[in-house]
Structure 1
Amino acid sequence: MPYLTSAVLGAALFCFAVLGFRARRVGGPLDDYVTARNSQTASTLGLSFLASSMGAWILFAPPEIGAFVGPVALAGYAIGSSLPFLVLGLYGPAIRRHLPEGRSIGEFAEACYGPGVRRWVSLVSILYMACFLAAELTAIGAIAALLSEVPPALVVIGVAVVTLVYTVLGGLRASLATDRWQAWLLLALLALVGGVAVWRLPEMPVGAGLPSVPMGSALSVALTLVIAVTAANLFHQGYWQRIWAAENDRALGRGALLGGASTLLVILAIGALGMLAAMSGLPLGEPPIPFFALLSAAPAWLGLPALVLAVTLVASSVDTLQNAIASLAVASAGRRGLSVGAARLATVVLMVPVVWVALQGLSVLRLFLIADLLCAAIVVPVLLGLWRRMSPLAAVAGGVAGMLGAVLPGWVAQGSLAGGVLVASFPDSIPTLPPFLGALLASTLVSLLIAWRRPASRFPLAREGDAR
């Protein structure tokens, strides 16, 4: 059985690699390598948004939230996961118009506020995506150990190396090409695995019902997830790359709508599986993993397609993140003549510490939450960059206020600054609303106040556009 499992997983990864190789543009410029500028249709973008946003995390977090907090919190998670695409779909055409040769969220921040803000925004984005990468590779190792006898390290290294090879050679075009097929494959496998698992569920016990969580608590969790997930995903450079990859504004808008709607439905569906597992009385495990609890009551053969599903989910997000981190790291240097070869080397180098962390089997949830909070503290000042009154002072002050706002609720509750910092670092790895709400409100209010009282003397993006 381990040999069959290894062969099937190897075949899936080989197919992804072939698709990536076929999409590469030999001898293309660095700009095409990191943006595939003005080349992608709405359907391609929509499927790419779906595939790149999915990951092994959907097999853990939504089912657990559905099982223990209920449908309201699950809806918050689904909205938070899909909302960034809608924001970029609405906001993206203005970014393309004002920054037609742009390539990254960092370049957007620099065009609005200067190099200092760019470095901070780029650092937060890279931190978030590195956590995402480590979490995905860690998860596939855990799933491999759970569903098969294949050594987890072999699966982790296999996924990392194969995706790295076709991403390094093909750049963003390779990621976009594999995303199309991975999106359809993951939808088919989700339908197969979920359908069979539900069909083989034991009969619901008498009195089975949804989690009895107070509505106030459920709403608090939902709002926390909307803020945290939306803010963090708006710093996902892979999504920003697709703003410029769209063939036109119409394709971007439709692709973002398709990606957002499909992501919403997938999260709701897989979260509902968690609720069904809890309602059926299945033992959910410790720590609880409702989705995999469903598989315990299903035929043994279902474990193989479930493992292929997990590998597909991880590969679809990892290849996007690999290219996104490299593009963010080299975008400004690329304008000074950095070669495609150097960009490829940067991709490989950046993956080494990520794979090392993934092989340790550590929990990265706390790092994820801290990165999410940093994103929530500065997301509004960054997105306000197209407002003519915004200035570097307003953006920096808003970001600083956001970080203070994240600490303030804990400071008040604990009576000390150290206590506030501790609360804002999520020592129990549990997302709580006050730090996120404080960060978002403080950064927004301070940015708006300073921009209104001391508006920018000029609008850099408009002047650049006029010069063209």
Structure 2
Amino acid sequence: MIMTHLAGLVAALCLFGWLGLRARKTTDTLDDYMTARNSQGAVTIGLSFLASGMGAWILFAPPEVGAFVGPVALAGYALGAALPFIVFAMLGPRIRESMPEGRSISEFAEQRFGKGMRRWVSLISVLYMACFLSAELTAIGSITGLLSDLNGQIVIIAVAVTTLIYTSWGGLRASLATDRWQALLLMALLATVLFVDWKHLPASTSSAELPGIPFWSAVSVALTLVLAVTAANLFHQGYWQRVWAARDNASLWKGAILGGGTTMIVVAVVGGLGISAVMAGLDLGSPAIPFFALLNAAPAWLGAVALILAVTLVASSVDTLQNGIASLAVAEKKGLTLSSARWFTVILMVPVIVIALQGVSVLRLFLIADLLCATAIIPVLMGLWPRVPPVAAITGALAGLIGAVLPDWVVTGSLSEAITIASFPGGAPTLAPFVGALIASSGVTLVMTALSGRDNT
């Protein structure tokens, strides 16, 4: 079986590498390398949104939410995963029109609010995407250990190097080309795993109850997931690249709807496996991993299929993140050549791979990065309103930082304890910091805008 696993992994990575390398154009400019500007139709954009967002996290998080928190929170997770694409569909065309030669949300922040806001937005974006990269590579190492006798660290390096070869050489076009096929492949593989898993799933007992926690607690978790995932993904440079890669506004709108709709379905269906596993009385393991617990009752060959699915999921998100971070760095560093951009893409992966090889959990870092995104996203997007002056947006972003700790500071009476809660000890998501950050940042931005009396309409 180890040779079957190895052959499947090698075949998948060789396919992705070939698809990515053949997408390169011989006359690429730096701008085309970073944005593939105005070149992609709605289907390509939609499949790319799906593939870019569907990392290995869907094999862990949605089934756990479904199994332990229940369908209400799972619905919130599915909505949170899809909502950013709807926001891109609504606001992307306006940002494209205001910055037809733009490359990133940080450039939009500078155009409206100055270099200080740009640097802050860039820092948040890089932190979030670096966490995402580390999490995905760490996950494929863990999944390899769960499903095969292969060395997980070698697979981490193989995935990172393969995606790095075609993204550093072909830029965004390479990522878009592989995304199309990765999206189709992951849907086919996922359908196979779901069909066989459910076919071999023991029947629910007559006394089985739908898993869940008290309704309002589930709603709180759902809202937390919606706010955290939406705010964070709006700082995902890989998604913003696709805003400018779309052929026109109609292609962006249709592609975002396609990507959001399919993402919602995938998260909901995979999460439903967790609910089914609990109702069937399966041993979910320790720590609990419902998706992989289901594989124990399925034929052995399904493990090889699931491993190829995991590699596809990780590669599809990693190549987007690699190119997104490189694009952001190039946008920040004026005068870089195409060759310099390629080398930067290679160099930035070294620390990420080192972190991933440690096998540490990055969930807490993920939540902190999500919260930082939540403190600034409303002031940045309010830049689409001409009345908002730079001082209002900057003050709003600072207020968001205070708002992230203020609710728990009031409840506990201790600033240090509130800061600890906002750093998510144990990796448990809580609603108060996100709500506080969003309310404070948007409220202060609105108040400062009203006080300024600015009117550029």
Q: TM-score range by the shorter chain?
A: over 0.9
2:348 is matched by which residue type in structure 1?
Answer: L
Q: Distance between the aligned counterparts of 2:453 and 2:99, measured in 1?
A: 21
For residue 388 of structure 1, give the secondary structure of its aligned residue in structure 2: coil
Report the counterpart of residue 337 of structure 2 in structure 1: 339
Q: Structure 2 CA distance, aligned partners of 1:173 and 1:455?
A: 44
Structure 2 residue 379 is matched with structure 1 residue 381: yes
Query: What one-letter code is carried by the residue in structure 2 that aligns with 1:404?
Result: I
Alpha-carbon distance between aligned partners in 1 of 2:217 and 2:46, rounded to the nearest angstrom: 33
- Contact 1:167-1:322 at 8 Å conserved across structures: yes
AA matched with 1:362 = V
**Quick check: 1:105 aligned with 2:105?**
yes
Asked if the contact 2:4–2:304 (Cα under 8 Å) also holds between the matched residues in 1, the reply is no
1:282-321 → structure 2 map (5 Å cutoff): 282-321=282-321
The 8 Å contact of residues 391 and 455 in structure 1, kept in 2 or not, is answered as no
In structure 1, how many angstroms separate the alpha carbons of the residues matched to 2:61 and 2:6? 26
Question: In the TM superposition, what are the counterparts of 1:239-318 in structure 2 within 5 Å?
Answer: 239-318=239-318
Measured after TM superposition, the shift of residue 456 of structure 1 is 4.2
- Contact in 1 for aligned 2:56/2:313 (Cα 8 Å): yes
Q: Distance in 1 between matches of 2:248 and 2:94?
A: 12
SS state at 1:297 partner: coil
- After TM superposition, give the deviation of residue 286 of structure 1 in Å: 1.0
- Rounded to whole Å, the distance in 2 between the matches of 1:151 and 1:199 is 30
Distance 1:455 1:402 in 2: 22
**Alignment partner of 1:364 is 2:362:** yes
Kept after mapping to 2: 8 A contact 1:141/1:155? yes
1:216 aligned counterpart, secondary structure: helix
Query: What's the CA shift for 1:173?
Result: 0.1
Does structure 2 conserve the Cα–Cα contact (< 8 Å) formed by 1:193 and 1:306? yes
Corresponding residue number in structure 1 for 2:133:
133
Deviation at 1:338, TM superposition (A): 1.4
Per-residue deviation, residues 212-270 of structure 1 (Å, max 9, x unmatched):
41110010000000000000000000010011000000000000000000000000000
Cα distance in 2 for residues equivalent to 1:26 and 1:411? 57
> Who is 2:202 aligned against?
202
2-side partners of 1:230 and 1:185: how far apart?
Answer: 26
Aligned: 1:238 with 2:238:
yes
Give the equivalent residue in structure 2 for 1:227: 227
- The equivalent residue for 1:438 is 436
Instruction: Output the CA distance in 2 between the equivalents of 1:104 and 1:456.
Output: 26
Partners of 1:285 and 1:6 in 2: CA distance: 26
CA contact (8 A) 2:388 2:454 kept: yes
CA contact (8 A) 2:30 2:337 kept: yes
Deviations 1:390-410 (A, max 9, x none): 111111111111111111122
Measure, in 1, the Cα distance between the counterparts of 2:453 and 2:186.
48
Question: 1:69 and 1:457 mapped to 2: Cα distance?
Answer: 47
2:351 counterpart (345, 350, 353): 353
User: Using the alignment, how far apart are the partners of 1:161 and 1:259 within structure 2?
Assistant: 27
Distance in 2 (alpha carbons) for counterparts of 1:208 and 1:98: 55
Matched, 1:425 2:415: no
Are the equivalent residues in 2 in contact too, given 1:135–1:364 (CA < 8 A)? yes
Percent of aligned pairs sharing the same letter: 63
CA distance in 2 between partners of 1:177 and 1:342 (Å)? 23
Q: Distance in 2 between matches of 1:86 and 1:203?
A: 38
Amino acid at match of 2:444: V
CA distance in 2, matches of 1:163, 1:400: 37
Alignment deviations for residues 378-425 of structure 1 (CA, whole Å, 9 cap, x no partner): 000010111111111111111111111111122122212111111100
Indicate whether 1:449 and 2:438 are aligned.
no
The 2-side partners of 1:392 and 1:268 are apart by: 40
Shift of 1:2: 2.0
Aligned residues: 457
Whether contact under 8 Å (2:54, 2:313) holds in the other structure is yes
Name the structure 1 match of 2:148. Answer: 148
Q: Distance in 2 between matches of 1:33 and 1:270?
A: 34
Pairing 1:85-96 to 2, within 5 Å after superposition: 85-96=85-96
Contact 1:390 1:455 (8 Å CA) reproduced: no
Q: Measure, in 2, the Cα distance between the counterparts of 1:93 and 1:313.
A: 28
Partner SS, residue 390 of structure 1? coil
Distance 1:221 1:416 in 2: 24
Deviates more, 1:206-215 or 1:79-88: 206-215
Identify the residue that residue 403 of structure 1 maps to in structure 2. 401
**Paired residue type of 2:385:** W
Root-mean-square deviation over aligned CA pairs: 1.0
| Aligned amino acid, residue 33 of structure 2 | Y
Q: Distance in 1 between matches of 2:113 and 2:286?
A: 48
**Amino acid corresponding to residue 245 of structure 2 in structure 1:** A
CA deviations over 1:42-75 (Å, ceiling 9, x no partner) = 0000000000000000000000000111111001
- Asked if the contact 2:71/2:212 (under 8 Å) is kept, the reply is no
Contact kept, 8 Å, 2:41 with 2:247, in 1: the verdict is: yes
Q: Report the secondary structure of 1:428's partner residue.
A: helix
Q: Is the 8 A contact 2:20 2:175 kept in 1?
A: yes
TM-score, normalised to structure 1's length? Answer: 0.96
What is the alpha-carbon distance in structure 2 between the residues aligned to residue 417 and residue 213 of structure 1? 30
Deviates more, 1:20-29 or 1:262-271: 20-29
Q: CA deviation at 1:457?
A: 6.5
Q: For structure 2, which runs of at least 5 residues remain unmatched after alignment? A: none
> Contact 1:157/1:355 (CA < 8 Å) preserved in 2?
yes
The answer to whether the 8 A contact 2:23-2:174 is kept is: yes
Contact 1:210/1:279 (<8 A) preserved:
yes
Deviations 1:262-316 (A, max 9, x none): 0000000000011001110000011110011110110111000000000000000
- Asked if the contact 2:212–2:218 (Cα under 8 Å) also holds between the matched residues in 1, the reply is no
Q: Work out the CA distance in 2 between the residues paired with 1:348 and 1:109.
A: 27
The structural deviation recorded for 1:113 is: 0.5
